[in-house]
Amino acid sequence: MEAYEGYFEDGQFFPIGRTISIQGRRRVILTLVDDPMPEQTETPQAKTWREFFEAINASDEEIPSSLERVNIVREVQL
C-alpha cells in the first residue's frame, strides 16, 4: 500500500513533491481532509518563464525552424 499527499483542483489530483505513475486499474481509498490547500504563489523563476512564453506567443514574428548555434559560455568583451 502506498500513500500520496496532494490536492484536488478542477477534478484532477496533483501530488505534492513528486510525480506518480499508477499503472493499470487499481483500487484506491481517497480521504478528503477538511484543511483547504493555500493558494500557490508563483516563484520568480516560474513568473519569468511564463512571461517569456507569453511574449513568444504574442509575437507576430515567424519562428525559424532551426537556430544558429551559439556558444553561451564564451566570454565577450563589450
> Which pLDDT tens digit goes with each residue over 42-67?
788 888 999 999 998 888 888 788 88
Max CA pair span of the chain = 63
Asked if residues 16 and 5 have their Cβ atoms less than 8 Å apart, the reply is: yes
Output the nine-digit C-alpha cell for 30. 481517497
Question: What's the whole-number average pLDDT of the chain?
Answer: 84
Residue 37 reports pLDDT greater than 80: no
pTM: 0.40
So what's the pLDDT on residue 41? Answer: 77
Measured distance CA(77)–CA(42) in Å, rounded: 35
So what's the pLDDT on residue 51? Answer: 92
**Residue found by looking up cell 507576430 in the block:** 60
Instruction: Name the 3-class secondary structure at 19.
Output: coil
So what's the pLDDT on residue 22? Answer: 83
Domain locations along the chain: 1-35
Give me Rg for the CA atoms of the chain.
21
